[in-house]
């Protein structure tokens, strides 16, 4: 295996000229345990750690652009994220433990495309767009168009994730995670809600859940019912049309469904009680 | 007392805290070969053929050993008293594999990486045999150990590794006369020690052709005996050295890496190193025996226990190290707290095609107290009486005989035992206050978070009565310091420090004057090892006796040098009534060089026909999230009667360290297997030990009693605190939300299922 650590984006693109078979490495918190557990080593490993341009957080009046190499710890310390994107900020707090948060990156969480990735439900709920760059072009695409299946992303050869763009709004938001211990636990279920209330009604509502389907999914049926009547008691039949949970070592499909219903009820009730 | 019971820093503390090269792995020997183990992918299979030609062809591979390289000699990996009560059902490498992970071949190579590559190239042809993963079906399944030559198996055909029975009085008759009868069946899963340092051994031949074994073990003398037996190499030519250990909890009471490593060194003549991976630690070392315990308790109209019967089914996994003795402790401990005239216990330990269980801190007692203390709580609830008062009413009193100890020893008939110290009732009272039992308020019934409180008690032993033996040797130096040489094994517990304190107390010197050297089979005298909570009680007794002999010699020399009869010791001087005195320093120097020349030194051995019980009462407050079933432990109060406390901080450390292990067993730790018997959570990401964020507030305290048979009244503190937290939490969960779970672990999912 060859190891490369280009110092700039242009060096990276030069490298892509000659190398076609490669894997991108950033924090390595998904990749390294994978190698340890038998994922074959790639022919070439390209480490982006020296490309400092990729770890900047830029703020404009309309949006915030988060570099793909931004670590979870850096997200957590960022005041703009704390102010505008509470659900994302909450997710950074529930994420793994301190050591992992210091290495794990937002880009890695997205490109790893795990259905239980903790940053994903907030990003979906805020309508995140991804900026993907290649040697001579760039594209900006909604996150749901890129994450296609567990562990699968629609990136072209020679393309990397440069940044994540979130529109600033005056929406409120929250993130809830159930893991089987207080830290260092993978989500059994998680969800994010981004909303705006107008008197007793929701003027804006988006609810995305994780670890209950192959990718992050939108609880569309539930959203529609709540937009109609925010006081609706949430029952399983309001989420079942959108989810397809599996049973694994952590929990059964049944439990995931049941707990998602309970936790959603809890949060929506709280949102209703807010003035 | 000057030293006992006083704040004393650990004698090895600075070296450990400053990262000195103290562990097995911190030493490397030139020219070492590295060992990797090829393990069975099948739960039960005969090895038909092993083709190692391709693997041997890899450059850097030094040797590969398989069952063909060893005679069919059967032994047990259990490092315990000899002859061992465990069945001799194990071969160093066997031609049959009996669980996924069983050893098939070992490769020694110039590097770990080459060894790893090489094991992948060994081609093994297996004939698959039927496998059974359920202990309930073990007796009807095909035999795991039909081979002749295996000894000590209770019933080979029925896969029963061991069996026990004990009876006092007439339980059936007593039941028929009882006012109330309660029953329950309780089960526990396989759980792992999860000690930080994996099993690791380094072996080499020294200039005299003697085999040196530097190893992470709790039982250096058993290692020497078993390595000698298995490799057919004389005991006189083996030296076992135990450096500092990164935790053992019973897992290192097994001889696992030492035999394989020694075999490679003896075969190749080269130093060899074998360190297991974390995954191997999970599925291929040892774990706690799952047990299913059925209890039946009869009470009279005064809520006094009249009779109890217990049925124990124990899952050994594929081999039976500690099968009988763990089950014996379960049986003993079921009848060691509450007094009754009639009881009967029957136990069967059975083989299944799963990873092997063996010694794990508590050694059968955690299973016993989970069952017993759950049922006691169920009874108190049912009868509407205070669980503390109900327990107190039934306790043994001072001077009572413990009839179970006579009926059932550790693998053989026991010895008469009496309760000579018992602070359990006071432990309960102290804990009751510290947790705020009487003021405790349950949550509002409509709240999604339900709070509950629970209590449980437990007992353990201090060493194995009539079996454990320890010895110590002390010599004096001319600066007034003393070398203390003990076979006892400090596995991170701090026993070197506790033993130094005992010596210092008797010798009337500061602890700094005691230079401890332990666990080296060439240099230190025999000790059965660090298990069964024995070191302070048994080894401590040996140290005390040896130190008393040394003091005699010091006084005699003092009398001679001062020419006076009436002398005493004060501040490291021998002082006569007249005021004449001689310092320890001068006394020893004179003894070495000028007058009545001699080395002041003494040795002593110690064993005991008693195994006095330490006691513990643990209280728990939990919060159950009724929307997720998630249980959060809010507070644990653990009060222990360990006799006189030799070292307060280390004792607190023992208690604090045991709590996450017990909480793990009740809430989050369990080994899972797929349909082929392969363990599926072989890492800490899915095998959930408690993290610091999961830990509750802990209050640790002691009720000091004076155990007459013990050195300075000290009973054991090593295992006792691990038993009661689990049932205390079980009882608190019931108190919180009315959910009673009798099969561990209590996962959120189980709580939710029970609630509907
Ligand atoms: C102990 C532990 C606990 C964990 N706990 C959590 C948790 O609580 N919640 C959670 O969500 N996750 C958790 N994870 C998973 C992991 O930490 C996260 O998914 C993390 O965000 C991955 O980031 P990374 O930088 O380490 O990615 P890496 O491992 O370096 O990469 C992950 C994948 O993304 C690709 N990639 C990374 N960056 C780019 C890019 N810019 N462009 C294109 N492809 C890219 C890589 O090629 C690779 O396939 C945990 C992991 C461990 C080891």
- Domain with residue B57: its CATH number is 3.90.1170.50
Compute the nearest-CA separation of B273 from chain A (Å): 21
Q: Check residue B666 and report its DSSP letter.
A: I
Q: For position A274, what pLDDT does the model report?
A: 86
The reply to whether B307 falls in a domain is: yes
CA of A78 to the centre of ligand 1 (A): 20
Q: At what angle do helices A253-273 and B748-755 cross, to 10 degrees?
A: 80
Residue B409 has pLDDT above 80, yes or no: no
Residue B443 and residue B476 share a domain: no
The reply to whether B173 falls in a domain is: no
- B interface test, pick of A178, A187, A189, A236 with most B CB neighbours within 10 Å: A178
CA A172, chain centre distance (Å): 18
Find residue B621's DSSP bridge partners: B453, B635
Burial A113-126 (b: 16+ CB within 10 A, else e): bbbbbbbbbbbbbb
Q: For position B672, what pLDDT does the model report?
A: 97
Residue B601 and residue B749 share a domain: no
Chain B CB contacts of A262 under 8 Å are 627-628
Residue B82 has pLDDT above 90, yes or no: yes
Cβ of A115 closer than 6 Å to ligand 1, yes or no, is: no
Residue B215 and residue B102 share a domain: yes
Q: How many CB pairs under 8 A join A and B?
A: 51
The reply to whether B2 falls in a domain is: no
CA B122 to each of CA B54, B66, B266, B491: distance values in angstroms, whole numbers, following the listed order: 7, 11, 22, 36
Residue B500 and residue B419 share a domain: no
Residue B620 and residue B530 share a domain: no
Each residue's pLDDT tens digit, A153-166: 999 999 999 999 99
- The lowest-confidence range among A142-151, A160-169, B747-756 is B747-756
Contact: A255, B752; criterion CB under 8 Å: yes
The reply to whether B1 falls in a domain is: no
The reply to whether B175 falls in a domain is: no
Chain B CB contacts of A245 under 8 Å are none
What residue numbers bound the domain in which B578 lies? 469-607
Contact B519, B460 (CB under 8 A): no
Residue B305 and residue B323 share a domain: yes
Each residue's pLDDT tens digit, B450-491: 999 999 999 999 999 999 999 999 999 999 999 999 999 999
Each residue's pLDDT tens digit, B573-627: 999 999 999 999 999 999 999 999 999 999 999 999 999 999 999 999 999 999 9
Number of domains in chain B: 3
Residue B310 and residue B370 share a domain: yes
- Closest residue of B to A262, CA-based? B627
Residue B404 and residue B550 share a domain: no
Contact B672, B747 (CB under 8 A): no
Q: For position B254, what pLDDT does the model report?
A: 98
Compute the nearest-CA separation of A92 from chain B (Å): 16
Domain end among B255, B275, B295: B275
Residue B644 and residue B566 share a domain: no
Q: And the tokens for A156? A: 């072209």
Cis amide prior to B83 (ω within 30 degrees):
yes
Helix (H, G, I), strand (E, B) or coil at B555: helix
Q: Name the residue among B685, B686, B691 with its Cβ closest to that of A182.
A: B691
Share of chain B above pLDDT 70, in %: 99
- CATH label of the domain that carries residue B314: 3.30.365.10
The reply to whether B98 falls in a domain is: yes
Residue B750 and residue B640 share a domain: yes
pLDDT (average), residues B199-228: 98
Choose among B704, B410, B714: nearest CA to B541. B714
CA of B192 to the centre of ligand 1 (A): 28
Cβ of A153 closer than 6 Å to ligand 1, yes or no, is: no
Domain end among B248, B275, B302: B275
> Which single residue is written with the structure tokens 């500061």?
B510
Measured between alpha carbons, how far is B571 from B574 in angstroms, rounded to an integer? 8
Contact: B681, A249; criterion CB under 8 Å: yes
Residue B298 and residue B265 share a domain: no
Find residue B348's DSSP bridge partners: B163, B313
3-state class percentages of chain A: helix first, strand second, coil last, to nearest 5:
35, 25, 40
Residue B337 and residue B215 share a domain: no
Contact B140, B71 (CB under 8 A): no
Q: Please state the φ and ψ torsions of residue A25, each to the nearest 5 degrees.
A: -120, 135
Domain end among B607, B636, B663: B607
Choose among A263, A268, A251: nearest CA to A211. A251
Instruction: Dump strand ranges (E) for B180-290.
Output: 180-187, 200-205, 211-215, 238-241, 272-275, 287-288
Measured between alpha carbons, how far is B422 from B402 in angstroms, rounded to an integer? 12
Compute the nearest-CA separation of A180 from chain B (Å): 8
Each residue's pLDDT tens digit, A51-104: 999 999 999 999 999 999 999 999 999 999 999 999 999 999 999 999 999 999
Q: Which atom number of ligand 1 is nearest to the Cα of residue A29?
A: 26
The reply to whether B165 falls in a domain is: no
Mean pLDDT of chain B: 97
Chain B CB contacts of A253 under 8 Å are none
Contact: A180, B693; criterion CB under 8 Å: no
Q: For position A275, what pLDDT does the model report?
A: 73
The reply to whether B164 falls in a domain is: no
pLDDT (average), residues B12-32: 96
pLDDT (average), residues B13-34: 96
Find residue B481's DSSP bridge partners: none
């Amino acid at each position: 295996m060859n190891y490369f650590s280009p110092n700039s984006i242009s060096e990276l693109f030069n490298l892509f000229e000659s190398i076609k078979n490669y894997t991108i490495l950033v924090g390595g918190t998904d990749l390294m345990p994978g190698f340890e557990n038998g994922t074959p080593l790639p022919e070439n490993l390209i480490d982006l750690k020296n490309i400092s341009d990729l770890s900047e957080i830029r703020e404009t009046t309309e949006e915030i652009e988060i570099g793909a190499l931004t670590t979870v710890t850096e997200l957590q310390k960022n005041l703009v994220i704390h102010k505008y994107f509470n659900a994302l900020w909450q997710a950074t707090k529930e994420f793994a433990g301190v050591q992992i948060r210091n290495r794990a990156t937002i880009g890695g969480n997205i490109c790893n495309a795990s259905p239980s990735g903790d940053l994903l439900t907030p990003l979906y709920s805020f309508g995140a767009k991804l900026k993907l760059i290649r040697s001579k072009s760039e594209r900006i695409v909604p996150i749901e168009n890129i994450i296609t299946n567990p562990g699968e992303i629609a990136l072209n050869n020679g393309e990397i994730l440069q940044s994540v763009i979130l529109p600033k709004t005056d929406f409120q938001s929250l993130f809830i995670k159930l893991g089987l211990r207080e830290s260092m636990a993978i989500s059994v279920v998680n969800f994010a809600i981004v909303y705006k209330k107008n008197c007793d009604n929701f003027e804006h509502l988006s609810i995305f859940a994780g670890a209950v389907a192959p990718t992050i999914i939108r609880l569309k049926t539930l959203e529609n019912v709540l937009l109609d009547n925010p006081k609706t008691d949430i029952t399983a039949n309001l989420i079942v049309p959108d989810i397809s949970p599996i049973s694994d070592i952590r929990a059964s499909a049944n439990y995931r469904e049941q707990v998602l219903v309970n936790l959603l009820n809890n949060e929506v009730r709280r949102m209703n009680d807010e003035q | 007392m000057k030293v006992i019971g006083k704040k004393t820093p650990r004698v090895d503390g600075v070296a450990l805290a400053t990262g000195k090269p103290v562990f097995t792995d911190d030493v490397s020997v030139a020219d070492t070969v590295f060992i990797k183990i090829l393990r069975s992918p099948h739960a039960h299979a005969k090895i038909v053929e092993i083709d190692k030609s391709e693997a041997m062809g890899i450059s850097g591979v030094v040797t590969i050993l398989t069952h063909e390289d060893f005679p069919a000699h059967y032994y047990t990996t259990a490092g315990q008293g000899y002859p061992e009560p465990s069945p001799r059902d194990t071969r160093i490498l066997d031609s049959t594999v009996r669980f996924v992970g069983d050893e098939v071949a070992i490769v020694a190579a110039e590097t770990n990486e080459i060894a790893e590559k090489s094991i992948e190239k060994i081609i093994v042809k297996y004939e698959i045999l039927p496998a059974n993963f359920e202990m309930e079906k073990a007796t009807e399944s095909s035999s795991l150990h039909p081979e002749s030559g295996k000894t000590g198996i209770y019933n080979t055909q029925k896969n029963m590794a061991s069996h026990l029975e004990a009876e006092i009085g007439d339980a059936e008759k007593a039941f028929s006369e009882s006012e109330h009868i309660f029953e329950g069946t309780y089960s526990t899963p396989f759980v792992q020690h999860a000690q930080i340092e994996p099993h690791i051994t380094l072996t080499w031949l020294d200039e005299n052709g003697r085999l040196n074994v530097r190893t992470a073990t709790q039982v250096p003398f058993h290692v020497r005996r078993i390595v000698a037996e298995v490799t057919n190499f004389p005991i006189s030519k083996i030296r076992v050295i135990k450096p500092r250990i990164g935790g053992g909890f019973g897992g290192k009471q097994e001889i696992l890496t030492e035999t394989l490593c020694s075999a490679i060194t003896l075969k190749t003549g080269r130093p060899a190193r074998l360190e297991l991976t974390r995954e191997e630690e999970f599925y291929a070392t040892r774990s706690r025996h799952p047990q299913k315990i059925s209890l039946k308790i009869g009470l009279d109209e005064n809520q006094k226990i009249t009779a109890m019967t217990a049925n124990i089914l124990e899952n050994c996994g594929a081999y039976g190290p500690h099968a009988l003795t763990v089950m014996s402790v379960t049986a003993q401990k079921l009848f060691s707290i509450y007094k009754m005239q009639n009881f009967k216990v029957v136990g069967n330990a059975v083989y299944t095609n799963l990873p092997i269980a063996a010694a794990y801190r508590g050694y059968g007692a955690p299973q016993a107290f989970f069952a017993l203390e759950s049922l006691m709580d169920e009874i108190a609830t049912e009868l509407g009486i205070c669980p503390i008062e109900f327990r107190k009413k039934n306790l043994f009193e001072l001077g009572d005989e413990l009839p179970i100890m006579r009926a059932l020893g550790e693998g053989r008939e026991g010895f008469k035992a009496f309760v000579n110290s018992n602070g359990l009732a006071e432990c309960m009272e102290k804990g009751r206050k510290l947790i705020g039992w009487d003021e405790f308020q349950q949550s509002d019934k409509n709240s999604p978070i339900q709070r509950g409180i629970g209590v449980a008690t437990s007992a353990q032993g201090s060493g194995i009565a009539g079996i454990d033996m320890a010895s110590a040797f002390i010599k004096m130096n001319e600066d007034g310091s003393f070398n203390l040489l003990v076979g006892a094994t400090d596995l991170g517990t701090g026993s070197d420090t506790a033993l130094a304190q005992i010596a210092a107390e008797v010798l009337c010197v500061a602890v700094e004057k005691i230079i401890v050297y332990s666990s080296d089979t060439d240099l230190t005298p025999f000790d059965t090892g660090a298990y069964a909570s024995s070191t302070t009680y048994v080894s401590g007794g040996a140290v005390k006796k040896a130190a008393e002999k040394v003091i005699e010699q010091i006084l005699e020399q003092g009398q001679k040098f001062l020419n006076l009869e009436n002398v005493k010791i004060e501040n490291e001087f021998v002082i006569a009534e007249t005021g004449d005195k001689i310092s320890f320093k001068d006394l020893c120097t004179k003894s070495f060089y000028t007058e009545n020349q001699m080395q002041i030194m003494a040795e002593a051995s110690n064993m005991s026909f008693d195994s006095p019980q330490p006691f513990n009462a643990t209280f728990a407050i939990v919060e159950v999230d009724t929307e997720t079933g998630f249980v959060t432990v809010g507070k644990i109060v653990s009060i222990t009667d360990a006799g006189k406390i030799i070292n307060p901080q280390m004792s607190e450390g023992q208690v604090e360290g045991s709590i996450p292990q017990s909480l793990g067993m009740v809430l989050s730790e369990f080994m899972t297997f797929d349909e082929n018997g392969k363990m599926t959570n072989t890492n800490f990401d899915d095998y959930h030990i408690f993290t610091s964020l999961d830990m509750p507030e802990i209050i640790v305290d002691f009720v000091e009693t004076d155990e007459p048979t013990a050195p300075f009244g000290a009973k054991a503190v090593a295992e006792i605190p691990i038993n009661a937290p689990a049932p205390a939490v079980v009882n608190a969960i019931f108190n919180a939300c009315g959910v009673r779970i009798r099969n561990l672990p209590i996962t959120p999912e189980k709580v939710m299922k029970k609630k509907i």
